[in-house]
Chains A and B, each alone.
Chain A
Amino acid sequence: MKKILVVDNHPLMLKFMTDLLTKKGYQVKAAQDGLTALNILKSYIPAVIFIDLVMPNIGGIKLCQIIRRMPELRDVYLIILSAIAAEEKIDPAEFGADICIAKGPFNEMAQNVLDALDRQDQGISPGPQGTVIGVENIHSREITRELLSIKKHFEVILGSMSEGILEITPEARVVYANPAALALIDKPEEELLASNFGDLFYETDHQRIKDLFGQELNAPRSIPEDSPVRLNDRQISLNLVPLKDKENKIIVILNDVTDRRRMEVQLQQIRKMEAVGTLAGGIAHDFNNLLMGIQGNASLMLLDVDSTHPHHKRLNNIVKLVQSGSKLTRQLLGYARKGRYEVKPINLNQLVEETSETFGRTKKEVAIHQELAEDLFPIEADQGQIEQVLLNMYVNAWQAMPDGGDLFLKTMNTTHEEMKGKLYEPKPGNYVLLAITDTGVGIDKNTRERIFDPFFTTKEMGRGTGLGLASVYGIIKGHGGYIDVDSEKGRGTTFSICLPASPKEAIEKKELHEEALKGTETVLLIDDEDMIIDVGKQMLEALGYEVLIARSSSQAIDVYNANKDRIDMVILDMIMPDMNGGEIYDRLKQINPSIKVLLSSGYSIDGQATKILERGCNGFIQKPFNMEQISGKIREILDKK
């Protein structure tokens, strides 16, 4: 007994066809829409299926396409039963149907249906594939065509929307999807239709989707933008709107909020950085002055104790702790993209060579290999910050190689075009690339995603501040550069840093003095902090200098005017309460155009020191400094011919 399935949404048509075919000895099942038909077809394999074209819950054309993709139904005979097919001149073969029979008065239609089945039984084709049978007596063609054109009108609207629109049953099965929804879900329509809506999402979101359908849907419900669900690595907000028709179907509007969310996160990040920057800048000045006081006192005490004295080691420990303390502020400032005090053209190779040599001396288990481009472009940068970046990177590499390993340092020239294919869009121009590769444990994907986050650390509590890479990132961004990480667990890591090249010529770096250099000249020390004046004066005197002091800007001008013939140089604090360092410098320079001034600062606004230096000021020193550092700077200025 041949099995038949009839799919039509009009009960009258369904009953007529069922009765007619049952009477002729066929086994017949009926479905009132495409979705029901697909449910029946899970366990019922008919030889012939009659399908109405215009139906709710998966229309006839879609249903044909889905059926043709089901392997067990590939050979089923598909007969379209519709008034509309005749109007539209659609070719049933196009969507996989065999023939089309036009609807009309039952007697004519019945004859056509039975004829088609007889012929199919006998293996005779009822007509060439794609034939439309029984169109002669169809009524009201015009009207049907208009009905179709309204439908098409909505389809154009749905097709051009950027939101994904789905129609689903109360049981959450998909019966319609517009092109935007198909693109978001990334599945062919035949596969999507009749599938379960919740299954489209990741398991972690299943409960939330389930909750949406939890109670009867009377009013619109949503998964809002601020807590979206994930769909193929996109972030999606959902709006469920009940249709309130008799089938209680639901329209789902899918909005891709990925880009908006990303921008919000970026904005949040910028705000966070501003806050940290303001905070760090605020404390850096006072903090560094405090450290200067501690450093100065320790330096002065060290003068009186030789290396055999039990306090010698303790005092050196204090000096080291002061350096760690000042590093902490530098890192906070770096993260907040501040702290570029003195920006000048420098040679990155030279910095890499010097810092890696210092580092290599202390960490013998790491073999350092250099491959530095000889013709490397200069970069315009704050040397202290770039050194901070390099040392951070070396320390990270060393920590990734607990049993020792190789550290490769490579520099080369590059351009924005060669940096393509990255997450960022580099500004056009020449760049200098520094690649730092270790042979360590590598970084997994999850850690990689968070690696530049402030206060994120893989080290146990109390071991790392989580500021190292965050400050590296901030400093590189602050210099208009880019940083990338490439790593695989167990196979080592490469950090690539790109910094904009400068057309200016690099300023040769002076050698650092390991020992305090003495002198006998006269120095005017200007600072509003008593502590700095106190230790500064004694440090300079210990170095052999004659020291005059001034605690305010007006005092500074007076003292200089009175002693301009014997003052050889001035050490000027940049932040004074009544007049800023730049103004005092200009006033002093008016008095003596060839005056020699060393700027000192605990913290200043980016570029402020650079501006004063550009007006002829002779040098800059960052607080806290020790005897060796200050003496080197002083000799550098005074010995310059």
Chain B
Amino acid sequence: MDFTELAQKIGLEDDEFLELVELFMETCASDISRLQVAIDQGDTQQVVEAAHSIKGASANLGFMEISSVAKEMEQNARDDSLDGAAEAVETIKKGLDLIKEKL
């Protein structure tokens, strides 16, 4: 994952891009904790909303792997299924960890 390349792709300077990524990390962190509580409680509506937020934001910045995992989780939750949701959260967290390493 090359930040410079990603930044160029969406037409931003490196530092600007980094700022956005930091903000993205923050909002994702709160979305993730919301997700974990919602999955524990079986609250599919909350899962849909949190996953929807992660999906949109990651797509905005070009983190397409995270976006597609979140998208699948959102779709399942909408069908009232939380199968694989916990695993999906782990996958997203790993993706976020990779980004964090680059910051």
Could you tell me which A residues sit within 8 Å of B by CB distance? 10-13, 15-16, 19, 23, 83, 103-107, 109-111, 139-140, 143, 146-147
Contact = CB atoms under 8 A, between A and B. Distances in A.
Question: 6 closest Cβ contacts across the A-B interface?
Answer: A107-B10, A106-B10, A12-B57, A107-B11, A106-B60, A15-B23
Nearest to B21: A12
9 contacts: A10-B57, A12-B20, A19-B19, A106-B10, A106-B11, A106-B62, A139-B59, A143-B71, A146-B78
Contacts of B57: 10, 12-13
B27 A10 contact: yes
Contacts of B24: 12
A16 B20 contact: yes
Contacts of B78: 143, 146
A105 B20 CA distance: 13
Interface of B: 9-12, 16, 19-20, 23-24, 26-27, 48, 52-53, 55-57, 59-62, 67, 71, 74-75, 78
A56 to B, nearest CB: 12
Given A12-B23, A12-B27, A105-B59, A143 B16 contact: no
B16 A10 contact: no
Contacts of B26: 11
Contacts, number: 62
A107 B16 contact: no
B102 to A, nearest CB: 18
Contacts of A11: 23, 26-27
B23 A103 contact: no
B85 to A, nearest CB: 16
A143 B20 CA distance: 26
A534 to B, nearest CB: 90
A140 B71 contact: yes
A143 B52 CA distance: 9
A110 B10 contact: yes
A104 B52 contact: no
Contacts of B61: 12, 106
Contacts of A103: 56, 60
Contacts of B19: 15, 19
A10 B56 contact: yes
Nearest to A83: B56
A63 B57 CA distance: 24
Contacts of B20: 12, 15-16, 19
Contacts of A15: 19-20, 23
A143 B79 CA distance: 11
A225 B78 CA distance: 40
A624 B12 CA distance: 107
Contacts of A104: 59-60
A43 B48 CA distance: 38
Nearest to A147: B52
A107 B78 CA distance: 29
A106 B53 contact: no
A147 B57 CA distance: 17
Nearest to B75: A143
A12 B74 CA distance: 20
A438 B19 CA distance: 85
B101 to A, nearest CB: 20
Given A15-B23, A147-B52, A110 B11 contact: yes
B16 A105 contact: no
A143 B55 CA distance: 11
Contacts of B75: 143
Nearest to A138: B59
B57 to A, nearest CB: 5
B27 to A, nearest CB: 6
Contacts of B9: 107
A103 to B, nearest CB: 7
Chain A CB count within 10 A is highest, among B20, B48, B71, for B20
B18 to A, nearest CB: 11
Given A11-B23, A107-B11, A19 B16 contact: yes
Contacts of B60: 12-13, 16, 103-106, 109
Interface-central residue, A11, A16, A143, by most chain B CB under 10 Å? A16
Scoring A19, A110, A140 by chain B CB atoms within 10 A of each residue's CB, the highest score goes to A140
B47 to A, nearest CB: 13
A603 B78 CA distance: 78
A518 to B, nearest CB: 99
Contacts of A23: 16
B54 to A, nearest CB: 11
Nearest to B13: A23
B52 to A, nearest CB: 7
A544 B103 CA distance: 127
Given A143-B74, A143-B78, 16 more contacts: A10-B27, A10-B56, A11-B27, A15-B19, A15-B20, A15-B23, A19-B20, A103-B60, A104-B59, A104-B60, A105-B59, A105-B62, A106-B61, A110-B11, A143-B75, A147-B52
A103 B55 CA distance: 13
A104 B20 CA distance: 15
A353 B9 CA distance: 103
Nearest to B22: A15
Contacts of B52: 143, 147
Given A15-B23, A19-B16, A107-B11, A140 B55 contact: yes
